[in-house]
């Protein structure tokens, strides 16, 4: 079932450069979809380190369990991702499937199974037949190349209406470091973790521990700042791989002054990917940044921003191009965080709509209505309590979301 | 803007009996709606006690602030409710409006302003002009009678598609005690508190403290067990009034053995009202009871049940008549409560769909599909961890919800 491409889709896709030590190919394993790629096999040169962040679901998928179990080694030689079946809630069959799949991938890449990272996305609860991989991985491995990354992004799509990829380069010690990322996800998107799947590769020399520290730090204002529908996937996975092929001294800890430079570039890639996921929110017609300022602290601001971004009433109002700031107040109030109704100020774009707990004297219904017709909107809530702030990103809630999710399995 | 009556609406409405010490009338004050009643004025005889439960929103409406302030007196002589304007987030104007309104009502009923309880429902953020009441309350007071209660229920409706009323009688000390209730609410419905507005009246002799204890207890499995869209109103209000006119000795505390008998009847009325609110959920086409059993404790069961009942993906699947139990697993996982994926069992009605962490061997897709076409559905999740249980009630998420809420202010 194909859905129309999101009106918020990017007009162009970047051509990401090759990264030394990274090769990949995609294949059609026929797991669920017909006539499209559904498998991504990626190989890393020896010495590649890995870091990951996974769903906080108490019912994680078999692949998430696998990745968590092998992650402590800190090293990776391969990544295998499939779309069409999440291999989640598949009991002992799921565990068997994951073990077999890792073995097939390891055979294809010439490494150990515990050097393989796995991710699956698609329908939950259907057993994933690992033999589907057995037939294709050897041939797929024989076709691996250093690009194009857009093919990798396409192979991991489910209800996504466009492939998601982003990259950054940064000069460290006079050497250009490259970071490429791909992501998929457009529903079941909520904080902790927000994307269903995202993979980042870099040639940066860095220890696994430092990479993990930076990844965990940068996820807060990127993938953990977005929400489509408040639902949290059983499969949410973000993995970063660093081949270390760039010829500079490695970052051994996040205390290294170069760590912040690398982290900023990594954060840019994660942010760009997270925005691409939000803009492909199921049924989305508008993209919304929700800024909360003046909270008692950043964490409180984050909770309030996400309460607004998750509110069905706020999101349907936005879909209806209705500057219903009363619902924003409602969402502030339900967050349970410190808020003083009579100090609240709310802006839609630059237009002040509420101040000191009531409609602003300068409120201009006509101007606000015109603003709401835009495709990229900003809502700012000033709490007037402290210096805490956070920005959450979401999309509107439309008939398209109902269409897509009321009929997903058929 | 009128919406079609919910397909889940009751076929008939009860004719509630008069309650000694309670009189009321409704009026058309023209606050927002045309050609319909929008004001309910209710008078209680001297000696009437009161108890209340209110929204947990940090940005409550002016009327909620008022009720909280006067509640400690424990006595009530009047109730004034309006629909069309919530008088919420209206700053100092809202406080002025509430004070004036209470004064007008007190004048009309011949009591003190702090014996008046107020509730307002409708648009948030628009100042409520108290002079609208000034003109009509005297005349309204002159028409007060002991029924019919359905008129009271109609006057407080907003996007409700049918009036909500329920009653119970119970024999205590050989005397028939009567409890009548009305409610309104169909969107912005979530636990803590779930209804926007509900008012219960009884002739039971009871202390204010005992009434408060019983009301707070019984709300847990009624109004705090339902959800339409996870959004919490700034105005949620449940108030119980007891005139004490039944000629028996009063219940002075909830330790009185008769308290449980009265509480059971009170609980029945609250439950019936809560179900009526859920069945009028905006856009609802299906009513869903979500039973969670085998949780570590009842509170954990409640959180998991509400996580399922609030999940947009579960609710859209139900709208699409899709037995997508994988999304139920997702919602269990995101609740953050103890759960063991590999012990989970899930039933749709009596049909076992998942057991021991995977699709049940007896799973019958055809039978489950037939079941999902029903209007009243039950989802049961057995966690297998302990004896905690809870049932939450919700409705599906449909195009109707988007239609109603994307266009509310116009």
Q: Would residue B17 count as lying in a domain? A: no
Q: Would residue A154 count as lying in a domain? A: yes
What's the pTM?
0.88
Contact B58 A339 (CB under 8 A): yes
pLDDT tier, B135 (very low <50, low <70, confident <90, very high otherwise): confident
Q: Are residues B273 and B294 in the same domain?
A: no
Among A279, A306, A324, the domain boundary falls at A279
Average pLDDT of chain B, as a whole number: 92
Q: Would residue B399 count as lying in a domain? A: yes
Output the six-digit token pair for B321: 């008549």
pLDDT of A2 above 70: no
Contact B405 A313 (CB under 8 A): yes
Mutation pick from B54, B98, B125 vs chain A, by most beta carbons of A within 10 Å, is B125
Taking one residue from A and the other from B, the number of pairs with CB-CB distance under 8 angstroms is: 232
> Which chain B residue's Cα is nearest to A337?
B58
Q: Is residue B371 within 8 Å of residue B347, measured between CB atoms?
A: no
Q: Residue B402 is nearest to which of A86, A337, A402, comparing CB atoms?
A: A402
Check residue A186 and give its pLDDT: 67
Q: Are residues A113 and A248 in the same domain?
A: yes
Average pLDDT over residues B216-235: 85
SS3 state at A117? strand
Query: Residues 6 or more apart from B231 whose CB is under 8 A from it?
Result: A311, A312, A313, A327, A330, A331, A334, B187, B188, B189, B190
Q: Would residue A395 count as lying in a domain? A: yes
Q: Are residues B298 and B392 in the same domain?
A: yes
SS3 state at A66? helix
Q: Are residues B296 and B365 in the same domain?
A: yes
The values of phi and psi at residue A400, to 5°, are -60, -40
Among A279, A310, A342, the domain boundary falls at A279
How far, in Å, are A254, A257, B231 from residue B196 at the CA level? 50, 55, 11
Contact B339 A59 (CB under 8 A): yes
B64-81 confidence digits (pLDDT tens): 999 999 999 999 999 999
| A-chain residues near B317 (CB < 8 A) | 405-406, 408
Contact B329 A89 (CB under 8 A): yes
Output the six-digit token pair for B51: 């108890």
| B-chain residues near A300 (CB < 8 A) | none
| B-chain residues near A405 (CB < 8 A) | 312-313, 316-317, 320
User: Order of strands across the sheet with A22-27?
Assistant: A22-27, A39-44, A78-85, A116-123
Average pLDDT over residues A302-310: 94
Closest-CA distance of chain B to residue A225, Å: 17
Full domain range(s) for residue A384: 287-405
Average pLDDT over residues A84-101: 90
How far, in Å, are B44, B116, B147, B205, B273 from residue B20 at the CA level? 9, 19, 11, 11, 22
Residue A56 class from Cβ within 10 Å (0-12 exposed, 13-18 middle, 19+ buried)? Answer: middle
| A-chain residues near B338 (CB < 8 A) | 58
Check residue B1 and give its pLDDT: 46
Closest-CA distance of chain A to residue B232, Å: 6
Residue indicated by tokens 């492939």: A163
Average pLDDT over residues B286-314: 95
Which of A91-95, A401-405, B106-110 shows the lowest per-residue confidence on average (mean pLDDT)? A401-405
User: Greatest CA separation found in chain B?
Assistant: 70
Check residue A407 and give its pLDDT: 67
Q: Residue A230 is nearest to which of B60, B312, B338, comparing CB atoms?
A: B312
Q: Are residues A119 and A42 in the same domain?
A: yes
Closest-CA distance of chain B to residue A313, Å: 6
The values of phi and psi at residue A199, to 5°, are -135, 135
Closest-CA distance of chain A to residue B355, Å: 9
pLDDT of A232 above 80: no
Cα(A363)–Cα(A266) distance, integer angstroms: 40
pLDDT of B250 above 60: yes
Mutation pick from A58, A63, A84, A319 vs chain B, by most beta carbons of B within 10 Å, is A58
Q: Are residues B266 and B322 in the same domain?
A: no
Check residue A111 and give its pLDDT: 98
Closest-CA distance of chain A to residue B400, Å: 9
pLDDT tier, A409 (very low <50, low <70, confident <90, very high otherwise): very low
Query: Residues 6 or more apart from B53 whose CB is under 8 A from it?
Result: B193, B215, B216, B219, B223, B237, B238
Q: Residue A326 is nearest to which of B89, B342, B405, comparing CB atoms?
A: B89
Cα(B376)–Cα(B16) distance, integer angstroms: 26
How far, in Å, are A233, B5, B277, B372, B376 from residue B8 at the CA level? 31, 8, 10, 15, 9
How long a stretch of residues is chain B? Answer: 410
> Which chain B residue's Cα is nearest to A405?
B316
Cα(B393)–Cα(B287) distance, integer angstroms: 7
Closest-CA distance of chain A to residue B397, Å: 7
Q: Are strands A116-123 and A78-85 parallel, antiparallel or unpaired?
A: parallel
**What's the number of domains chain A is made of?**
2
SS3 state at A75? strand
Beta bridge partners of A380: A291, A347
Which of A103-112, B124-133, B192-201 shows the lowest per-residue confidence on average (mean pLDDT)? B192-201
Q: Are residues B273 and B293 in the same domain?
A: no
Of the candidates B55, B158, B195, B398, the residue annotated as catalytic is: B195
Query: Residues 6 or more apart from B246 whose CB is under 8 A from it?
Result: B20, B172, B175, B176, B177, B178, B203, B204, B205
Closest-CA distance of chain B to residue A404, Å: 9
Average pLDDT of chain A, as a whole number: 92
Mutation pick from A125, A229, A320, A360 vs chain B, by most beta carbons of B within 10 Å, is A125
Contact A329 B234 (CB under 8 A): yes
Q: Is residue B244 within 8 Å of residue B206, measured between CB atoms?
A: yes
Contact A330 B408 (CB under 8 A): no
Dihedral angle over CA of B6, B11, B14, B15, nearest 10: 110
Mutation pick from A309, A326, A344, A385 vs chain B, by most beta carbons of B within 10 Å, is A326
The number of helix segments (H) and strand segments (E) in chain A equals 11, 15
Check residue A90 and give its pLDDT: 86
Check residue B407 and give its pLDDT: 67
Which of A152-166, B81-95, B298-312, B376-390 shows the lowest per-residue confidence on average (mean pLDDT)? B81-95
Cα(A174)–Cα(A246) distance, integer angstroms: 11
Check residue B185 and give its pLDDT: 85
Q: What's the gap between Cα B14 and its chain centre?
A: 17
B324-372 confidence digits (pLDDT tens): 888 898 899 889 899 998 899 999 999 999 998 888 999 998 999 999 9
Check residue B138 and give its pLDDT: 95
Closest CA to B62 of B32, B101, B27: B101
How far, in Å, are A220, A353, A357, B157 from residue B92 at the CA level? 38, 16, 8, 26
Q: What is the DSSP string of B131-198?
A: HHHHHHHHHHHHT-BS--HHHHHHHT-SS-SS-EEEEEEEEETTEEEEEEEEEE-SSS--SSS-SSEE
Q: Are residues B312 and B269 in the same domain?
A: no
Cα(A53)–Cα(A237) distance, integer angstroms: 6
Q: Would residue B104 count as lying in a domain? A: yes
pLDDT tier, A193 (very low <50, low <70, confident <90, very high otherwise): very low
Contact B316 A55 (CB under 8 A): no
Q: Is residue A80 within 8 Å of residue A116, measured between CB atoms?
A: yes
Cα(B52)–Cα(B79) distance, integer angstroms: 12
| A-chain residues near B57 (CB < 8 A) | 330, 333-334
Mutation pick from B354, B396, B406, B410 vs chain A, by most beta carbons of A within 10 Å, is B406
Cα(B224)–Cα(B56) distance, integer angstroms: 11
pLDDT tier, A358 (very low <50, low <70, confident <90, very high otherwise): confident
**DSSP state at residue A192:** S
Of the candidates A48, A90, A161, A195, the residue annotated as catalytic is: A195
Q: Would residue A15 count as lying in a domain? A: no
Beta bridge partners of A247: none
Residue A129 class from Cβ within 10 Å (0-12 exposed, 13-18 middle, 19+ buried)? Answer: middle
A61-89 confidence digits (pLDDT tens): 899 999 999 999 999 999 999 998 888 88
Check residue A123 and give its pLDDT: 80
Contact B231 A356 (CB under 8 A): no
Contact A402 B398 (CB under 8 A): yes
Q: HSE of A153 in the Cβ direction (CA atoms, 13 Å)?
A: 26
pLDDT of A410 above 70: no
Contact A332 B357 (CB under 8 A): no
Closest CA to B23 of B49, B52, B45, B39: B45
Q: Are residues A163 and A50 in the same domain?
A: yes
Contact A90 B409 (CB under 8 A): no
Q: Are residues A160 and A240 in the same domain?
A: yes
Contact B59 A341 (CB under 8 A): yes
SS3 state at A382? strand
Output the six-digit token pair for A325: 């700031």
Q: Are residues B116 and B241 in the same domain?
A: yes
Contact A322 B407 (CB under 8 A): yes
Q: Residue B58 is nearest to which of A58, A125, A333, comparing CB atoms?
A: A333
Check residue B4 and give its pLDDT: 82
How far, in Å, are A402, B1, B2, B154, B401 from residue B161 at the CA level? 22, 11, 8, 10, 13
Contact B125 A325 (CB under 8 A): yes
Share of chain A above pLDDT 70, in %: 96
Output the six-digit token pair for A296: 């008692």
pLDDT of B111 above 60: yes
Q: Are residues B145 and B235 in the same domain?
A: yes
Contact B91 A357 (CB under 8 A): yes
Clarify whether A243 is annotated catalytic.
Answer: no
Q: Residue B317 is nearest to which of A330, A331, A405, comparing CB atoms?
A: A405
| A-chain residues near B320 (CB < 8 A) | 405-408, 410
Cα(B221)–Cα(B275) distance, integer angstroms: 11
Contact B358 A89 (CB under 8 A): yes
Q: Residue A405 is nearest to which of B313, B401, B406, comparing CB atoms?
A: B313
Cα(A326)–Cα(A353) distance, integer angstroms: 10
B160-197 confidence digits (pLDDT tens): 899 999 999 999 999 999 999 999 986 555 544 445 89
Preceding omega of A342 cis (within 30 degrees of 0): no
SS3 state at A65? helix
Cα(B371)–Cα(B354) distance, integer angstroms: 16
ipTM of the complex: 0.82
How far, in Å, are B31, B155, B185 from residue B35 at the CA level? 11, 11, 20
Contact B333 A405 (CB under 8 A): no
Among A279, A303, A325, the domain boundary falls at A279
Residue indicated by tokens 């707990």: A357
Q: Is residue A104 within 8 Å of residue A130, measured between CB atoms?
A: yes
Closest-CA distance of chain B to residue A330, Å: 6
Q: Is residue B400 within 8 Å of residue B284, measured between CB atoms?
A: yes
Closest-CA distance of chain A to residue B388, Å: 18
pLDDT tier, A349 (very low <50, low <70, confident <90, very high otherwise): very high
Q: Would residue B334 count as lying in a domain? A: yes
Check residue B194 and give its pLDDT: 42
Average pLDDT over residues A281-303: 94
Output the six-digit token pair for B197: 């507005």
> Which chain A residue's Cα is nearest to B313?
A405
* HEC-encoded secondary structure of B197-264: EEEEEECCCECHHHHHHHHHHHCCCCHHHECCCCCCCCCCEEEEEECCCCCCCCECCCCCHHHHHHHH
With vertex at residue A273, the alpha carbon angle to CA A291 and CA A230, rounded to the nearest 5 degrees, is 55
Q: Would residue A13 count as lying in a domain? A: no
Estimate the crossing angle of helix B91-109 against helix B131-142, to 10 degrees: 20
Closest CA to A286 of A230, A228, A240, A205: A228
Residue B160 class from Cβ within 10 Å (0-12 exposed, 13-18 middle, 19+ buried)? Answer: buried
Check residue B91 and give its pLDDT: 84
pLDDT of A283 above 90: no
Contact A322 B409 (CB under 8 A): yes
Mutation pick from B54, B89, B193 vs chain A, by most beta carbons of A within 10 Å, is B89
Closest CA to B60 of B206, B201, B237, B202: B237
> Which chain B residue's Cα is nearest to A307?
B231
């Amino acid at each position: 079932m194909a859905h129309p491409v999101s009106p918020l889709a990017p007009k162009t896709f970047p051509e990401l450069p090759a990264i030394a030590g990274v090769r990949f190919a995609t294949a059609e394993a026929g797991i669920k979809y017909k006539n499209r790629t559904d498998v991504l096999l990626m190989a890393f040169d020896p010495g590649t380190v890995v870091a990951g962040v996974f769903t906080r679901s108490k019912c994680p998928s078999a692949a998430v369990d696998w990745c968590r179990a092998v992650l402590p080694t800190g090293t990776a030689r391969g990544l295998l991702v499939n779309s069409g079946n999440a291999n989640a809630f598949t009991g002992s069959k799921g565990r068997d499937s994951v073990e077999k799949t890792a073995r097939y991938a390891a055979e294809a890449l010439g490494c150990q199974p515990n050097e393989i990272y796995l991710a699956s996305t698609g329908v939950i609860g259907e057993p994933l037949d690992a033999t589907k991989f057995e037939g294709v991985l050897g041939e797929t491995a024989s076709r691996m190349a250093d690009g194009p990354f857009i093919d990798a992004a396409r192979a991991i799509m489910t209800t996504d209406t466009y492939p998601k990829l982003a990259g950054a380069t940064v000069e460290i010690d006079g050497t250009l470091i490259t970071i490429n990322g791909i992501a998929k996800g457009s529903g079941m998107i909520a904080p902790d973790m927000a994307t269903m799947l995202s993979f980042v590769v870099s040639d940066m020399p860095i220890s696994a521990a430092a990479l993990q520290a930076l990844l965990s730090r940068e996820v807060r204002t990127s993938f953990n700042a977005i929400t489509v529908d408040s639902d949290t996937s059983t499969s949410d996975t973000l993995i970063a791989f660093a081949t270390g092929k760039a010829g500079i001294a490695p970052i051994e800890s996040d205390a290294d002054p170069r760590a912040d430079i690398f982290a900023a570039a990594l954060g840019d890639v994660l942010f760009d990917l997270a925005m691409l996921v939000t803009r492909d929110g199921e049924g989305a017609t508008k993209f919304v940044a929700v800024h909360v300022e003046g909270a008692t602290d950043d964490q409180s601001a984050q909770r309030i921003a996400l309460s607004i971004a998750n509110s069905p009433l706020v999101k349907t109002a936005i879909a209806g191009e209705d500057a219903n700031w009363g619902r924003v107040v409602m969402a502030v109030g339900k967050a349970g965080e410190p808020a003083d109704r009579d100090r609240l100020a709310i802006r839609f774009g630059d237009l002040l709509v509420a101040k000191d707990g009531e409609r602003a004297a300068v409120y201009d219904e006509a101007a606000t209505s015109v603003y709401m017709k835009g495709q990229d909107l900003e809502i700012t809530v000033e709490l007037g309590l402290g210096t805490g702030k956070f920005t959450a990103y979401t999309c509107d809630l439309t008939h398209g979301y109902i269409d897509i999710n009321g009929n997903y399995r058929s």
